[in-house]
Structure 1
């Protein structure tokens, strides 16, 4: 089964509110649709003879709200800007570092925040990283049109663009497009400029995509020519043989993000199996499995060492010279403001 089919199946089951894969009842993983890649938890399966049970989500805020409302799981996979919300809500506890194998290989830049690690312990296990940039139909869109992020407000592409239904990603785009490359120090004037730009971009949007498989459908079926995309959407299009380009070096830049595991309090499953699960993801061999299936990079230097330059080029994970807005933790109040404004913009206000 291809990654595309896995994502489609996961998304369909998600809409029913059911676990997308029921297996080992002693471990419940709350994760993004599409991350149930056997190569990632291979060591777990080898030891226990089965995969963990998965329940899926398509949006960080959706996942947080479900957990805050009482849903019980053993481990979740938020992106970095969400960790402070989990800590403030008392939903997570530190990892026992003595039980982790491979965490010492995580690149220090992914743990460079007291939100992730402090004198109380290690709160966050960064695992995967990727980028958000312009995916486009190379047969229909000239390269010069995607040399700038202003393609998303170009009247030529009215009804032909798609943006993620993710406040973090669309605000990263809007800040970049209006000249802001650091969202940890946003002024009211910068926020207002980005909001005005987003309102203009909204007029060109054919649809907001909720997961990468939905974005690929929008592009392969014809209406969407230009999308603000994660790596995995591009990987799926490449698998389909679709003529997709991935422009990370628009003059205003592109965005980067990273995600990882949090240890949920009062998880219903086995603590031993939880650590075996995350240790499987921290193996060097998880690096090739991750990039092959989803197109993301691994936070482990040992895992990344197993990848070729060709792997990195194809996935769009090489260094670039254009600006990069890193989606690291920002002010929670500012993030809530962005969420509220995004909902108004989508509603046409």
Structure 2
């Protein structure tokens, strides 16, 4: 199954010199800490204080998508920290792969975005234990060609299923984003809480969308080329797609003020139960990525938001606006968080989305 990874083409370019493949290890002088991550996040600009303290980055091992990472860890691969996104944290925790974090050892814990921290089952479990340090976030939203689409026709995300857009639509080849769109469209406030009837309604909506889909995009390059080249006019895409399309001179805009709003995803770091390395260094790394100064790199170079509120406040307003974060997360009535999904529901979504894409 193709899976979309939330990594910008720009981010991958940062790692191109390493010529790494998924699962490869980039060795550093400091081998007391192994971080299992997406390619690109080994850039020292994301953990400068760690490098300053120890003289080098940790050792990084890379995965291509989260299911691959999950299976590799279950098969016995050893690492200290990993970088999953919100929809998969519960699955990793329930599989017994993780150990709780000690927030007293994480500098700036109180500065983390309160809306992200309040997401059910993401940072905290019901017993109050901490399992996840949020790092970056971004939006999936209605994106359109302003020269071909009349804004009056896209007041709702249900426009993706409107027959007038047949062969003019693209959504990601990504079960999480797809069901986020469907859940928003059928009026759910939390897609992680979906009964059998609601799941059927969401799946039926995606089947209607499928009739209009020209392509399921697999990475940022795909969707930017499709939008900029005029191949499609309406997309369910990450915020960086608009930024890059506009940079290409294309008349692409986002519409966050649809009746239902837009979807926000969050990624961050967890600690493995059988972490073999130096735990003090693990917390030093977590402190380094949570440093407010890192926001300037994360937003400016990659176009993602930083979970540290002080970090976002330190980014120049013109940069925030350019990257599509001028409204940040203040518009709580517009934001629909992609919360952690129970494992059994996630497996149903994966299986059903494959059927939908195949035309069944």
In the superposition, the TM-score normalised over structure 1's length comes to: 0.85
| C-alpha deviation, 1:174, in angstroms | 0.9
CA RMSD of aligned residues (A): 3.0
Aligned CA distance change for structure 1 residues 115 and 247 (closer, same or farther; 3 Å):
closer
Counterpart of 1:143 (choices 151, 158, 164) is: 151
User: Distance in 2 between the 1:320 and 1:257 partners?
Assistant: 15
1:76 aligns with 2:79: no
Counterpart of 2:24 (choices 19, 25, 28) is: 19
CA deviation profile, 1:236-281 (whole Å, cap 9, x unmatched) = 3344444321221222321122221100233354434322222111
Query: SS in structure 2 opposite 1:267?
Result: coil
In structure 1, runs of 5+ residues without a counterpart are: none
Cross-structure match for 2:351: 340
User: Distance in 1 between the 2:44 and 2:244 partners?
Assistant: 17
Aligned CA distance change for structure 1 residues 177 and 344 (closer, same or farther; 3 Å):
same
**1:246–1:316 Cα contact (<8 Å) kept:** no
**2:83–2:267 Cα contact (<8 Å) kept:** yes
Aligned CA distance change for structure 1 residues 147 and 314 (closer, same or farther; 3 Å):
farther
Counterpart of 1:291 (choices 299, 307, 312) is: 299
| Residues matched between the structures, number | 347
Query: SS in structure 2 opposite 1:186?
Result: coil
User: Distance in 1 between the 2:350 and 2:35 partners?
Assistant: 26
CA deviation profile, 1:301-336 (whole Å, cap 9, x unmatched) = 221221344444333331447643221224332222
Please, which moves more after superposition, 182-191 or 54-63?
A: 54-63
Matches for 1:266-285 after TM superposition, within 5 Å: 266-285=274-293
Counterpart of 1:116 (choices 112, 123, 129) is: 123
Matches for 1:1-349 after TM superposition, within 5 Å: 4-7=9-12, 16-19=21-24, 21-24=26-29, 26=31, 27-112=33-118, 113=120, 116-117=123-124, 121-317=129-325, 318=327, 319-320=330-331, 323-349=334-360
In structure 2, runs of 5+ residues without a counterpart are: 1-7
In the superposition, the TM-score normalised over structure 2's length comes to: 0.83
Aligned CA distance change for structure 1 residues 66 and 231 (closer, same or farther; 3 Å):
farther
Query: SS in structure 2 opposite 1:29?
Result: strand
